[in-house]
């Protein structure tokens, strides 16, 4: 187990290091310099579920990107931290781990208690109560995104029925509310996968409730329509036969390609993050990354020459919008004062501006 945790952690660190936004500086015009500044958050809270199954992988997927981003204090909560979760916390260099879970753990992260400090951002998956609590506190403490019951959509026309079924059943065992969907233009493939799912549930009965409630095979007229439907669903996980199809599935938390793109590999050890948006949020963003743990802001520096060069454009646009005080704030610096009014003498500030 420790060796597996180290392997997964090594891969997550490698991917996370590539995700940290980089600072830069650009001279956009003479005397006008724009800088992008990237600084890590001070403290983050990682929620690790502990109900149906121990999830050391969820701790790694939340704490390691935060560390890669340079966050100095990483706090974790887990209602029932199994030994594997504690081992993952040591590997990820978690600052503190509290035995607490549910909506009250989210509230503690958001507002702080006598023992649990308030954090700058809350991340990590959870059940419906945790997701609802994150939505409630989001105005007061930023969260990652809605990460509710898991979803998988397989888009295939000639995949291996046994392997497709294995992916569907694997995701279905996460939660009774998990969704497992096959989209295919081939009716024969849909039937073969349905039969394989029924057989595999015998081996993995924990997947039966969600397959019964939310498992479905949809036969579409064409592969193009299967792709369109996948994008309309915007699932947490998408699985495709080929890279060509994967490039067209653009609304998904993550996309797996080819017969050996087992979705479970991404849950644990590929290095790509498994904390992914659900319930259609993948229409606008992908999964958790190191970029979620930094502040990105801009620094603008103007010299006298720079402001004079911009002044005609700024004054014209401001006046067009009726914001004449905006125009005046620039004009006072660069234009001669009106007749009869003496300008305030310059105080000899640095030429590059404030």
237 carries an active-site annotation: yes
Residue 183 phi, psi (nearest 5): -115, 120
Domains of the chain: 2-145+289-298 (3.40.50.1980), 151-273 (3.40.50.1980), 304-354 (1.20.5)
Q: Would you say 66 and 74 are in contact if contact means Cβ atoms under 8 Å apart?
A: yes
Question: Within 10 Å of residue 322's Cβ, how many Cβ atoms?
Answer: 8
The arrangement of strands across the sheet holding 32-40 comes to 24-29, 32-40, 294-302
Q: Which residue among the candidates 91, 151, 173, 236 is catalytic per the annotation?
A: 236
The one-digit pLDDT tens for each residue of the chain (354 residues) are 999 999 999 999 999 999 999 999 999 999 999 999 999 999 999 999 987 778 999 999 999 999 999 999 999 999 999 999 999 999 999 999 999 999 999 999 999 999 999 999 999 988 888 989 999 999 999 999 877 788 999 999 999 999 999 999 999 998 888 999 999 999 999 999 999 999 999 999 989 999 999 999 999 999 999 999 999 999 999 999 999 999 999 999 999 999 999 999 999 999 999 999 988 889 999 999 999 999 999 999 999 999 999 999 999 999 999 999 999 999 999 987 767 655 555 544 454 444
236 carries an active-site annotation: yes
Burial environment of residue 150 by CB neighbours within 10 A (0 to 12, 13 to 18, 19 or more) = buried
- Across the chain, where does the E strand assignment appear? 24-29, 32-40, 43-47, 73-77, 96-98, 121-123, 151-155, 179-184, 215-219, 237-240, 254-257, 294-302
Q: Which residue among the candidates 151, 173, 237, 274 is catalytic per the annotation?
A: 237
For the chain, the first-to-last Cα distance in angstroms comes to: 55
Residue 197 corresponds to which tokens in the numbers above? Answer: 């799912």
What distance in Å separates the CA atoms of residue 117 and residue 104, rounded to the nearest whole number? Answer: 13
Residue 93 phi, psi (nearest 5): 55, 45
pTM of the model: 0.88
């Amino acid at each position: 187990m420790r060796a597996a945790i180290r392997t997964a952690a090594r891969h997550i660190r490698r991917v996370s290091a590539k995700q940290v936004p980089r600072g830069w500086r650009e001279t956009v015009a003479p005397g006008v310099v724009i800088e992008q500044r990237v600084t890590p958050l001070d403290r983050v809270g990682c929620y690790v579920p502990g109900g149906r199954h121990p999830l050391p992988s969820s701790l790694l997927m939340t704490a390691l990107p935060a560390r890669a981003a340079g966050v100095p204090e990483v706090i974790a909560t887990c209602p029932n931290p199994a030994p594997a979760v504690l081992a993952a916390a040591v590997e990820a260099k978690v600052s503190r781990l509290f035995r607490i879970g549910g909506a009250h753990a989210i509230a503690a992260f958001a507002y702080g208690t006598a023992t649990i400090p308030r954090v700058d951002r809350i991340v990590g998956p959870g059940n419906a109560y945790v997701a609802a609590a994150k939505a409630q506190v989001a105005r007061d403490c930023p969260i990652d995104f809605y990460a509710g019951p898991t979803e998988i959509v397989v888009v295939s026309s000639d995949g291996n029925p046994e392997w497709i079924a294995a992916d569907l059943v694997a995701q279905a065992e996460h939660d009774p509310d998990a969704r497992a969907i096959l989209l295919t233009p081939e009716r024969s493939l849909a039937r073969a996968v349905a039969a394989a799912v029924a057989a595999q549930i015998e081996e993995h009965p924990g997947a039966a409730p969600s397959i019964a409630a939310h498992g479905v095979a949809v036969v579409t007229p064409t592969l193009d329509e299967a792709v369109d439907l996948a994008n309309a669903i915007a699932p947490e996980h998408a699985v495709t036969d080929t890279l060509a199809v994967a490039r067209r599935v653009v609304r998904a938390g993550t996309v797996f390609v080819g017969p050996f793109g087992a979705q479970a590999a991404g849950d644990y050890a590929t290095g790509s993050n498994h904390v992914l948006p659900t319930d259609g949020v993948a229409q606008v963003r992908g999964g958790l990354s190191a970029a979620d743990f930094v502040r990105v802001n801009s620094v603008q520096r103007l010299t006298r020459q720079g402001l004079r060069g911009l002044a005609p454009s700024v004054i014209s646009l401001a006046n067009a919008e009726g914001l004449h005080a905006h125009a005046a704030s620039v004009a006072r610096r660069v234009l001669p004062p009106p007749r009869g009014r003496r300008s305030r003498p310059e105080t000899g500030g640095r030429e590059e501006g404030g």
